[in-house]
Amino acid sequence: MEAINFVVIGYGGMGSYHAKELIAETTGLNVVGVYDIKEERLTQAQADGFKTYDSLENVLVAAEVEAVLIATPNDSHKELAIQAIKAGKHVVCEKPVMMNTQELEEVMALAQLERRTFMVHQNRRWDNDFLIIRDLYNQKQVGDLFQIESRVQGANGIPGDWRHLKEHGGGMLLDWGVHLLDQLLFMVDSPLKTVAADLSFVLGDDVDDGFISYLTFENGVKAIVEVGTTNFVKLPRWYVRGFEGAAVIQDWDLSGEIVKQTGIIDHHNLVPIQAGQGLTKTMAPPSEEATTTLPIKEVAPEFDSFYRNFYNVVRNEADPIVKNTEVYRVLKLIETIFEAAEKQQVLPFE
């Protein structure tokens, strides 16, 4: 097995995570060095046992370097990718891949021209909670899903420094939205018809501190995708409804349940319950005989890990799990969400 030697460009939180864990733990990949424009990060990389490069030029001319990981602020991705590809390097790029689809088109065309692999690290296709919901969708465990709600919510505001700045590609739609939208489009096998959205600016930044989007697919699936950073009480990570039941996953710990209809609901003999100052049959729970509650169980992906796949793409001409056409579609959707929110309109997509 001929190893692929990586240099990590950008040794912040994600760059160091790739270097010390994701790349280092993948057979056939080596981290041969680190480059960062900040001296303190180079010092940290050396303390972590990595060789460091004192300039990007020295990375790109190094014969031992076959690939680079770009883990820098979003607005620098395009130029770094172009320089690396022109220098003959394969590229893995952190998300969001570029600032807009025009930049991505340029990089994709160059990578094809130079016959270099360019892949985007959409790592949350491997998240356990997503794989469970994707399995529910594919296997129709509660029938065909017609409503999908996907949320991540916290109360710590926008983290870091450059993520507050529009010129660097800050904001939650580009930070977390790109993950949730990628998961949704990877899962739902249908064209997306319409998009509506609202962005939150309650923290006073120039970039969004959260958003909510409403998506309607051609196959009838409707989805709500929401991110918040001022949510001291969080809604469930996932809530989905199908024609034969529903499921909820509360958080990253995979707490939740699947409730499936397994009996007949007698609509003519419902027992009313006390609801506030009134009675209701409509909102009364179904009888125990009508439903079965099942536990949430982890689901293994049927595809390789990201970096195992990257190795096979480079060495064995395998198909990438994260395809650039899919990444482009997500970035186009993000652009449409920005537009829909600005215009306060429901916009067509595909």
Report residue 266's pLDDT band, with 50, 70 and 90 as the boundaries: confident
Structural domain containing residue 28: 4-121
Report residue 322's pLDDT band, with 50, 70 and 90 as the boundaries: very high
- C-alpha to C-alpha distance for 86 and 64, rounded to whole angstroms: 16
Average pLDDT over residues 201-210: 96
Percent of the chain with pLDDT over 70: 100
User: Are 82 and 117 part of one and the same domain?
Assistant: yes
DSSP secondary structure of 122-149: -GGGG-HHHHHHHHHHHHTBTBSEEEEE
User: Are 229 and 187 part of one and the same domain?
Assistant: yes
User: Are 91 and 179 part of one and the same domain?
Assistant: no
Q: Confirm whether 267 is domain-assigned.
A: no
Q: Confirm whether 87 is domain-assigned.
A: yes
**pLDDT tens digits for 83-107?**
999 999 999 999 999 999 999 999 9
CATH of the domain at 81: 3.40.50.720
E strands, 202-348, where? 210-217, 222-228, 238-242, 245-249, 256-261, 273-275, 278-280, 291-295, 347-348
**pLDDT tens digits for 119-152?**
999 999 999 999 999 999 999 999 999 999 999 9
> Looking at residue 287, what is its pLDDT?
83
User: Are 50 and 101 part of one and the same domain?
Assistant: yes
> Looking at residue 41, what is its pLDDT?
97
User: Are 131 and 117 part of one and the same domain?
Assistant: no
User: Are 182 and 228 part of one and the same domain?
Assistant: yes
Report residue 289's pLDDT band, with 50, 70 and 90 as the boundaries: confident
Q: Of 66, 97, 121, which closes a domain?
A: 121
User: Are 80 and 180 part of one and the same domain?
Assistant: no
Q: Of 103, 121, 139, which closes a domain?
A: 121
Average pLDDT over residues 285-305: 94
- Domain tally for the chain? 2
Report residue 268's pLDDT band, with 50, 70 and 90 as the boundaries: confident
CATH of the domain at 219: 3.30.360.10
